[in-house]
Structure 1
């Protein structure tokens, strides 16, 4: 059966890969013991740094085999085993993912300086990495590398009260419905009033986005020129003697596709995952 998605753990220059199918992917909350290797418990993200160390030494073996720098092949092979053993002891709940013997066998093959033997021996080691990544990588990134919206506070420009981000998004949604429902009913005066509230709340997201997106260009990606154009177009139609429904709904679509949808595509999946983990049992 052809997999819907295949992840490949690239085995450097050996020309091999370990396929991980969609059915192998799991999203579950990482063990609490992993937290001590990430902020705020740790100043540095030690776990991902450990991953980079192993990846560098694994890649270093093949880089140097290809360049026939056998002294550095041996150094990287030895360091890989050292870091692999260290990593295997960091999270007790994950110790079964590791196969130190497979790492040692790979290192021994690498030190024969035969790239074909090293490539063949890398398969066993690659499978241990692939299984752990399939079952944990998405969850680790969602929990430790993705900022949580659920910790953000927003000052509502309408009520002037500080509220939770989720509640604020609900307020934006309600304001939006006030615009679209009233326009659909031909209540253009009410729609115009609702639009002012909706625009005020929507554009406030520029400062909210600044909590993570410090660069102006990034902030304006979601709440930028397209949003300005859409709001101006909607306002123009609502103030016209005879609003043009086609133009009005076109601007609604512009705002939805370039603002709401773009942001949701990037952020919402991780937010859903985090929300489930942060809810009290």
Structure 2
């Protein structure tokens, strides 16, 4: 058996009350060739604090935590820029904003109180007040490092849990008016696409044409469900807009004309323009979210 120089051979995820354990076992080629020993790498992923959820939708009307992070990043940049330019008044203005926002963090998420560098904030505040530009920039650098450490551990998990789509509560009416759960509806779409492919390959053109019409109707129902999250038409148009309608028209025409090669190509285009484009944005994050948190 031949192996790549580093090949993932086993992934085992164990969940306990305190953390997720991802155990990744890699087999380097050199070890396989000599003694077949296995190098094990263990990665511990800390759970998100419960209090964080109150600062994200739907528990909150706004994405408060997210916008607080945006503000802190902007304020640190302004402080650093004005310290470099030795502009004390503007540096102090932005320092005051930063200190005010940063001191709210342990109140917002008490579980992170010990991880938040309040001493460094005091150092920044003192240095800014005395126009000690060098110390200000040093404090900014240390605070940015503190931010990176926290983001490395928690940002991806927070994005998955609080900002990725949750389709479990969405229901869609199919072309016959029957209300279906989102997952059931998507399974139906997959079956219709395969029915088109099977029927055209077996030259059962009438069945393929009917399935193509059914696919179009069901996709229109799917498009209406986009309003659950998207409040404008732009996102829906990108995936289920004119380009998709045109591709479906061309697919239907090829099926009516019994053009096997063209219909196969157009079905593939529809799968990319509609299915893969949507899945690339939504399904990967949704599946990851469900895997880790549901």
Coarse TM-score class (shorter-chain normalised): 0.7 to 0.9
Distance in 2 between the 1:274 and 1:245 partners?
Answer: 40
- In structure 2, relative to structure 1, the CA distance for the partners of 1:235 and 1:103 (3 Å cut) is same
Residue among 273, 278, 284 paired with 1:258: 273
Q: Does the alignment pair 1:49 with 2:58?
A: no
Correspondence 1:102-251 to 2 at 5 A: 102-113=120-131, 115-158=133-176, 160-240=177-257, 243-251=258-266
Runs of 5+ unmatched residues, structure 1:
1-22
* Unaligned residue ranges in structure 2 (runs of 5+): 1-40
**8 Å CA contact retained: 2:161, 2:293:** no
Determine which structure has the larger strand proportion and give its number: 2
Query: Structure 2 vs 1, CA of residues 97 and 269 (structure 1 numbering), >3 Å: closer, same or farther?
Result: farther
Task: Give the Cα–Cα distance (whole angstroms) in 1 for the partners of residues 275 and 154 of structure 2.
Answer: 29
Q: Indicate conservation of the 8 Å contact 2:86/2:133, yes or no.
A: no
Question: What secondary structure is seen at the aligned counterpart in 2 of 1:154?
Answer: strand
1:191 and 1:238 in contact (8 A); partners too: yes
Whole-Å separation in 2 of the counterparts to 1:96 and 1:184 = 64
Distance 1:29 1:57 in 2: 28
Judged with a 3 Å threshold, the aligned counterparts in structure 2 of structure 1 residues 54 and 235 are, in CA distance, closer, same or farther, namely closer
Equivalent residue number for residue 84 of structure 1: 102
Greater relative contact order structure (CA < 8 Å, 6+ sep): 1
How many residues are aligned here? 253
Question: Aligned partners of 2:58, 2:203: CA distance in 1, in Å?
Answer: 53
Per the TM alignment, residue 266 of structure 1 is displaced from its structure 2 partner at its CA by 1.3
> What's the CA shift string for 1:104-150, capped at 9, x where partnerless?
22334444535444333322211211011112222222332344222
Query: 1:154 Cα deviation (Å)?
Result: 0.5
92 and 84 in structure 1: CA distance in 2 versus 1, 3 angstrom threshold = same
Matches within 5 A, 1:4-23: none
> 1:35 touches 1:41 (CA, 8 Å); kept in 2?
yes
2:54 aligns to what SS in structure 1? helix
Deviation, structure 1 residue 68? 4.0
Q: Deviations for 1:175-230, whole angstroms, at most 9, x for unmatched residues?
A: 11111112122222222222222222123222122333333343221112222222
- Name 1:273's counterpart in structure 2: 288
Give the whole-Å Cα distance in 2 for the aligned partners of 1:207 and 1:119: 51
Q: Secondary structure at the match of 1:213?
A: coil
